A and B are shown apart, each in its own frame.
Chain A
Amino acid sequence: GAGVSQSPSNKVTEKGKDVELRCDPISGHTALYWYRQRLGQGLEFLIYFQGNSAPDKSGLPSDRFSAERTGESVSTLTIQRTQQEDSAVYLCASSYPGYNEQFFGPGTRLTVL
């Protein structure tokens, strides 16, 4: 596709349930990032992939959060036992190797009731 795509665009879940968020980066972009944007706030970095490995996981807020990437393409962010404070827009971005310009997807709005 032409840009970074994310699915679902909206997700409403009950506290305690697990959720999976998906990101399809731009073709050829080997770097992939996940960020979180809480209402009225800036973006918080969660995790960075280079290829299928994650050299920087420093932003994951707890062990309920995990992410994987396969085939140097699609990535999935999983949140286990969701809490209300997990409600946010989760953004994915990708970039070419060696470039620091990141291209963002439209985000997944997660609401935990």
Chain B
Amino acid sequence: GDSVTQMEGPVTLSEEAFLTINCTYTATGYPSLFWYVQYPGEGLQLLLKATKADDKGSNKGFEATYRKETTSFHLEKGSVQVSDSAVYFCALSGTGRRALTFGSGTRLQVQP
């Protein structure tokens, strides 16, 4: 079945550092890929998405590129802020399936 693997956290960075959170997936066909974010005390929010190979999703300075050849969708941000501290979840929606398959989440802590 479909699966998503994320790097283990927590990831601790200083403000203005470069962020990469790795995400790889296993799925048949051409899934849609998502990053969701869960800020402390808040619900899950969609951060960005990509629906086909080589698409780049972007939002709030975050980017991720759908790489079919490496089955990856790594999340990047050039300069993190304290307000980016949250748990980030990579997810996919498989071909012909509506439910999302989530990774285990990566906690990001940004220190001033």
Contacts and interface: CB of A to CB of B under 8 A. Distances in A.
B32 A42 contact: no
A93 B91 CA distance: 14
A100 interface: yes
Contacts of B44: 43, 91, 93, 104
B60 interface: no
Interface string A18-57: 0000000000000101010000111111001010000010
B22 to A, nearest CB: 15
By DSSP majority rule, is chain A's interface helix, strand, loop, or mixed?
strand
Interface residues on A, range: 20 to 34
Contact of A45 (B36, B101, B103, B104): B101
Contact of A100 (B4, B32, B101, B105): B32
Interface of B: 4, 32, 34, 36, 42-46, 49, 51, 89, 91, 93, 97-105
Interface of A: 31, 33, 35, 40-45, 48, 50, 56, 58-59, 91, 93, 95, 100-107
